[in-house]
Amino acid sequence: MANICAMDTRVVPDSGMSARPCIVLIEDDAALLDALSFALDTEGYATRAFLGEEGVLDAADLTDARCFVIDYMLAPLDGLELLAELRRRGAKAPAILITTGPDRHCRRRARMMGAAIVEKPLMTDALSRKIRALI
């Protein structure tokens, strides 16, 4: 299982394997972040997991990201504000916003930014299907 820390944990493919698509996970619940990272790893993805927004904004290079999975309820920036900042910094990968009961305002903002929404409680197969559809 991937180690989760305040900064960045990269799960690197075993030598001899073809490179696995990299999914960047940003979640402020350590247990959920660990579970998502493990689930996506077993699905064949490499993950870069960030506990909250601070570490991801300090990350030197996110160009290998094939998809961002971002918790909406981050603070002080919410997930869509964080996505906007990542876009300003050149991140181009598609994004999935994970949240509980998104209101109309959240849905509209996500749609305007081109982010898909997957509602909590998360079912990893639903998240995996959405990632496959986007990448």
- 67-89, pLDDT tens digit by residue? 999 999 998 999 999 999 999 98
- What's this model's pTM, rounded to 2 decimal places? 0.84
Is residue 4 classed as helix, strand or coil in its secondary structure? coil
Determine the Cα–Cα distance for residues 123 and 127; give it in Å rounded to an integer: 7
CA 54 to chain centre: 14
Domains of the chain listed by start with CATH number: 21-123 (3.40.50.2300)
Positions in the chain short of pLDDT 50: 1-16
The DSSP bridge pattern shows strands 46-51 and 8-10 to be: antiparallel
Report the first-to-last Cα separation within the chain, whole angstroms: 23
